[in-house]
Every structure is written in structure tokens, then in C-alpha cells.
Amino acid sequence: MQLHGRRYDTGEFVRIDITDQRITKIAASDGPADAPWVGPGLVDLQVNGYGGQEFNDRALDVDRIVAIGRAMDADGVTSYLPTATTHSFEMLHHVMTTLASACETPEVARRVPGFHLEGPYMSREDGPRGAHPLQHCRAPDWDEFQRLQEAAGGRIKIITLSPEYDSAPSFIEQAAASGVLVAIGHTAATSEQIAAAVDAGARMSTHLGNGAHGQLRRHPNYIWDQLADDRLVASLIVDGHHLPPAVVKCFVRGKTLDHCVLVSDLVGMAGMPPGEYANTSIGDIEILEGGRIVVAGQRQYMAGAGLALTWGIANLTRFADVPWATAIDLASRRPAELIGVPCGSLEIGALADLILFDLPQDDVSPLKIRATINAGEIVFEL
């Protein structure tokens, strides 16, 4: 296979040869003015579902998981972490078991390098809890987590939790020692509890600035504490709904680009038309015009996201003056490095997980994906 386009990082026209899932040659080439850009495939660390299908679903099966991955091909996502959210042990065990079975199929294995467990060890307070069901929020339990990890076949790569519980430091230390990336999120923790969590091995903040009280003490508070700690990488949802542009800019400037990654936080109803949806795994939700998803009956509490990483990349350049190449890295190479998995790159011998895309021609559109190449195969093409 040969691809022609402009390198996302240099703008140089190149021809890329691909053989046996790998890049075998990159050579300078002439190209038309309308040639697409070429860059690494996107890596999304937080996907709760897509197109009407949630992972937290007792009816989840391998075919439904395959369908989610194929749907995301159109968004340029070549790798993602299916994300199970706060629920009963029985539900989470079912999700982990089903995902593990799906990963035995090549169709899923090449798209899913691991899983993200967002909860159930979350704050029980309104605000920090977000849309996570109160009846299932509980303190970290290492024995329970080990049973879930066993069901997952050892594939849980990230666990998001609140360190406000007495059992949190010990849990974090054990999870980090086992190779799991521990993230702080949906928390009402004190400054001392945040510090203790990071000392124990927490290394990420899940969607910093969200899953928080509507009103906070000006300082100190758990957002400032996480923003200031250089040991924490902040994942950010930059869909235009979760964080105002000024907040995105301040977070990126304060945290620095070396300590940020983009996530989508797509929920199962992402991709569905506006309207109310009942009996989802997090309760009743509403999709508003423009893709904003909220807990039904109000407008303050978000219920996950409805817009893909292509929106986050474009908005990051607009909100924080981040160069296009860097914004794409924050949605591809950097997340992959964070969880220690391969990522497409424009280098000889690299896995051919690539996207061909156009930059938006206005201030309101996302990246336009022309084609997605996963392990050397075109899985989406306009």
C-alpha cells in the first residue's frame, strides 16, 4: 500500500509505503494543493460507548463491541480504551469478562489495547459524583478490583478513583505496583488526600475540571492541587461543552503541554440525535443541540460527551493557541505513551496506524477524516 500526503509535523509532501502492517519507506514526493495531511491514528483513553451502545450493559456482547470500534473508525480512532463506569460488581464483572472475550478476536484486539475502569470508587457527593449512580459509589476495595482485573484478563490499564477514602493510599500503591495507571477523578478530596494519592503512585487526573462541585472554595481546592502537581498528567475534554475556552487555556498553560492529553469521554448515546434517553447505565440523559449531553431535567451536570477527539484537537488549537501537530500528538502519541502501548508514527518500522485528514476551514468545525488506516488496512475512507 502507498499513501500520499503532507506530514502533519513538517508539512512536507511524502509517499509512505506500507507492508505487513508496518511503514517500510517514507520518501519526499510531489503533491497537489488539495492533498490530505497524514498523521498518527488517534488514541482515546476514555470511551464509554458509542452510537446507542454502552459498555455498561447486561446485553453487551462481542458483536456490539466490534460495532463500536468500527463506528469509531470514521473519527480516526485506531486505538481506544473501552471504559466501564461506576456500577454494581456484577455489572462490572460482566463488562470486563465480555471485553476480554472480544479482545480474543483480531477485529477488536487491534483497536483495544486495554480497558479503563472509571469508578466505582468515586465520591458520593453531588457534583464530584457527576452522573455516576450514588448507590454504587464506594470506597476502594483491593480484593474487588483484583477480581475485576482477573475477569479482564489483566487488561485494565487505567483506574479512575477518588482518594478521599481511608483505603485509597494503600489501594493506589498496590494498583500502581501492578502496572495500572491510577488517575484521580470525581473527587471531593482535601489537599492532603490529593498529595497522599500522588505520593502513593497516582499519575493522572481524569478530565480535570469536570466531575467537581458547581462552587468551590477559591483556594485551596482539589483542582488547584492537581494542576500544580507536576507528577500528574491531566486528561482534558475539549469538546467546547465540558470546559470553557479560558479554562482550557489556563489549564494548558499551567499544566504545560508535556503534562496534558486529550480524551473524548464519549458515552453510549454519542452519535445519536438530540432528545431524551431513558434508562441508560447512568440514568436518564438528554442530548441537546450541538452535542452537549446532560443529566435529564437540568443543564449543569454533564453526562459524558457526544463529540469525538477530532473536535477536541481543533478546539485545543483555537482555545489555547496550540500548534496543530502538538494538538494531534496530545490525542495520539502522548496517550499511547502514557499507557505504554504502540502508536502510529511517521517513522520507518512504525505500526501503520495512520489518518489522512483535512484541517477545518472555519472556527467551528472539527478535523475532517478522509481515511483511517489501522495496522496497514484502510478501515474507513470517504
Cell 484537537 sits at which residue?
313
| CA nearest to 344, candidates 8, 88, 69, 6 | 8
Across all residues in the chain, what is the average pLDDT? 96
Q: Using an 8 Å Cβ cutoff, are 156 and 82 in contact?
A: no
The DSSP bridge partners found for residue 293 are: 287
Please indicate, yes or no, if residue 363 is contained in any of the structural domains.
no
pLDDT of residue 139: 98
Please indicate, yes or no, if residue 13 is contained in any of the structural domains.
no
pLDDT of residue 191: 98
Name every residue whose Cβ is closer than 8 Å to that of residue 118 and which is 6 or more positions away in sequence: 46, 48, 83, 84, 85, 86, 159, 160, 185, 186, 206
% of the chain with per-residue pLDDT over 90: 89
pLDDT in tens, 223-245: 999 999 999 999 999 999 999 99
pLDDT of residue 119: 97
Question: Is the entire prediction scored with pTM above 0.85?
Answer: yes
Pairwise CA distance, residues 51 & 72, whole Å:
9
% of the chain with per-residue pLDDT over 70: 100
Please indicate, yes or no, if residue 78 is contained in any of the structural domains.
yes
Q: What is the mean pLDDT of residues 270-277?
A: 89
The alpha carbon torsion through 44, 50, 55, 56 (nearest 10 deg) reads 120
- pLDDT at residue 357 greater than cutoff 90: yes
- pLDDT at residue 349 greater than cutoff 80: yes
Q: For residue 283, what pLDDT band results from cuts at 50, 70 and 90?
A: confident
What is the largest distance, in Å, between two alpha-carbon atoms of the chain? 62
Please indicate, yes or no, if residue 360 is contained in any of the structural domains.
no
Pairwise CA distance, residues 190 & 266, whole Å:
29
Cis, bond preceding 120 (omega within 30 deg of 0): yes
pLDDT of residue 17: 98
Is the model more confident about 63 or about 30? 63
Pairwise CA distance, residues 260 & 204, whole Å:
9
| CA nearest to 380, candidates 345, 347, 355, 343 | 355
Q: For residue 292, what pLDDT band results from cuts at 50, 70 and 90?
A: confident
Question: Helix and strand tally (H, E) in the chain?
Answer: 11, 20
Name every residue whose Cβ is closer than 8 Å to that of residue 298 and which is 6 or more positions away in sequence: none
pLDDT of residue 289: 83
Pairwise CA distance, residues 25 & 346, whole Å:
10
Please indicate, yes or no, if residue 354 is contained in any of the structural domains.
no
Pairwise CA distance, residues 233 & 217, whole Å:
23
Q: DSSP 3-state helix, strand, coil percentages of the chain (rounded to 5)? A: 30, 25, 45
Q: For residue 312, what pLDDT band results from cuts at 50, 70 and 90?
A: very high
- pLDDT at residue 291 greater than cutoff 90: no
Name every residue whose Cβ is closer than 8 Å to that of residue 222 and which is 6 or more positions away in sequence: 184, 187, 188, 189, 190, 191, 194, 212
For 149, the domain range is 41-343
- For 306, other C-beta atoms within 10 Å of its C-beta total 25
What value does the CA radius of gyration of the chain take, rounded to a whole number of Å? 20
Please indicate, yes or no, if residue 197 is contained in any of the structural domains.
yes
Q: Helix or strand or coil: residue 286?
A: strand
- Determine which of 135-149, 287-301, 346-360 has the lowest per-residue pLDDT on average: 287-301
pLDDT in tens, 260-270: 999 999 999 88
Please indicate, yes or no, if residue 18 is contained in any of the structural domains.
no
3-state secondary structure 217-247: CCCCCHHHHHHHCCCCEEEECCCCCCCCHHH
pLDDT in tens, 360-375: 999 999 999 999 999 9
Q: How many domains does the chain have?
A: 1
CATH code of the domain containing 241: 3.20.20.140
Pairing outcome for strands 233-236 and 260-262 = parallel
Cis, bond preceding 335 (omega within 30 deg of 0): no
pLDDT of residue 183: 99
pLDDT in tens, 74-92: 999 999 999 999 999 999 9
For residue 191, what is its C-alpha cell?
Answer: 489537599
Cell 440525535 sits at which residue?
273
Please indicate, yes or no, if residue 12 is contained in any of the structural domains.
no
Q: For residue 303, what pLDDT band results from cuts at 50, 70 and 90?
A: confident
